Amino acid sequence: MDLKIAFRNVFRNRRRTALSLAVIVVGTAIFLLTLSFIGETLESSRTAVVCETGAVQVADPRLFEDRTKGYDYLISPALRDRTVAMVAERPGVTGTGWRLDFAGLVGTENGSTLLLARGVTTCSCVENYDCFAIEGGALPADDSRQVLLGRALAAKLGVRIGDSVNVATGTASGNFNAATVTVAGTLTYSTEAVEKQLGLFSVQFAQRLLKTDGVARILIGLRDPETAEEFAAALERDFNESGIPLAVRTWRELSPSYTSLETFYTAFSGLAGVAVFVLVFFSVFEILTISFLERTREVGTVRAFGSSRGRVFRGFLLEGAAIGVLGAALGIAVGALVTVAFNAIGFTSTPPGGAVPLALRLSLSANIVLVPFLTVVFATLASSMYPAWKNSRLGVVQALQSV
């Protein structure tokens, strides 16, 4: 009954109610769109990182700590197979792969430049480079002399798909080795500076060029990358018990830039929430205070008929809650419509230093919807508490004498 009366009172002054709802709807929609953008940005960043590094990596501790000398950190085939077998037994693993990185020179008869090369496991669900746009063919799953060059690197060398380039580097034993390879395709990378130096080979060819059978890193794919910390801790315990001298790192540890990005956006979303809370609180507070004070004689009449102060307070509070719930629901609906329209348009943007235009999208999830809804409802409730308390504390005679 009290709730029904509260909803009736909300629409007694429609102009004032419309003003309150407008403030609440705008605040809710803005907060929802902010969280939608942040959520999509973090999700796409996480996907790109995990695609490139795997959810978890295993390597010699010296490699992670940058204490290597030459190629003394390489994992032998026997240790690699033992590690992969142990990893495969754990739940949540989607696959494993390995990588062998090296630096060298790449060029043609017209000149050469620095090459940052990655020998990757082809046809791997862990590191398949689907997050990069590849033009041309894929790398073969053998030691064929083929390479995927960064698009900017291929342009710098003046080569196209099907052309040959020369690759030179130092071997694992410290000697010099070189090979002529065919450009199988080009790829785009998120950072243009890296794209000017990046080359991908099959790990088999990288081993052949470096004259080694070892690998640098073992990459592990997980069904849920957010469980990487728990998985890594359990795997490290298994390594210690089994005497495997390898270290484990999660995708977050391998990409500190993502942690910084997440921290920034978390703080930004918190500030946005505080700003919306303050906006709704003071706007609705002023409107509800005027509305409640105009009904002082009505309060006196209700109290004269036996209603308690608690019931009067509860009635005003329910009225504020009704405005908050209604406005928040409308704000969520408006924000959702804007999100759908924005995604349908398909905006793109190239970030500073980036090489690839990225799609700008907004995401919706239960958390993204719930946070602005609860924030606005709580702000409205908080703004109605003082005027509701003040009116409920009035004496019967004092309230009836009010003009």
* Average pLDDT along the chain: 82
**What's the confidence (pLDDT) of residue 302?**
55
Task: Report the distance separating Cα 161 and Cα 159, nearest Å.
Answer: 7
pLDDT, mean of residues 224-233: 93
pLDDT, mean of residues 361-389: 85
Confidence of residue 329 (pLDDT cuts 50, 70, 90): very high
For residue 353, pLDDT over 50 is answered with no
Q: What secondary structure does DSSP assign to 279-319, as a single string?
A: HHHHHHHHHHHHHHHTTHHHHHHHHHTT--HHHHHHHHHHH
Predicted TM-score (pTM) of this structure: 0.76
For residue 159, pLDDT over 70 is answered with yes
Dump pLDDT digits (tens) for 128-137. Answer: 555 566 787 7
Dump pLDDT digits (tens) for 52-92. Answer: 888 999 999 999 998 888 899 999 999 999 999 999 888 98
For residue 361, pLDDT over 70 is answered with yes
For residue 142, pLDDT over 50 is answered with yes
Higher pLDDT, 124 or 27: 27
For residue 22, pLDDT over 60 is answered with yes
Task: Report the distance separating Cα 303 and Cα 392, nearest Å.
Answer: 9
CA distance to 2, 145, 193, per residue, from 203 (Å): 72, 11, 23
Task: Report the distance separating Cα 182 and Cα 147, nearest Å.
Answer: 6
For residue 395, pLDDT over 90 is answered with no
Dump pLDDT digits (tens) for 297-313. Answer: 555 555 555 555 556 66
Say what percent of the chain tops pLDDT 70.
79
pLDDT, mean of residues 192-204: 89
Give the range with max mean pLDDT: 286-290, 322-326, 370-374: 370-374
Domain ranges of the chain: 2-48+258-400, 61-245
Please report which helix (H) or strand (E) contains residue 119, including its range. Answer: strand 111-120
For residue 232, pLDDT over 90 is answered with yes
pLDDT, mean of residues 152-172: 93
**What's the confidence (pLDDT) of residue 344?**
86
For residue 7, pLDDT over 60 is answered with no
pLDDT, mean of residues 186-200: 85
**What's the confidence (pLDDT) of residue 293?**
60
For residue 259, pLDDT over 90 is answered with no
For residue 324, pLDDT over 70 is answered with yes
pLDDT, mean of residues 89-106: 91
pLDDT, mean of residues 320-331: 86
Q: What is the DSSP letter of 90?
A: S
Residue of 195, 192, 189, 209 lying closest to 154 (CA atoms): 195
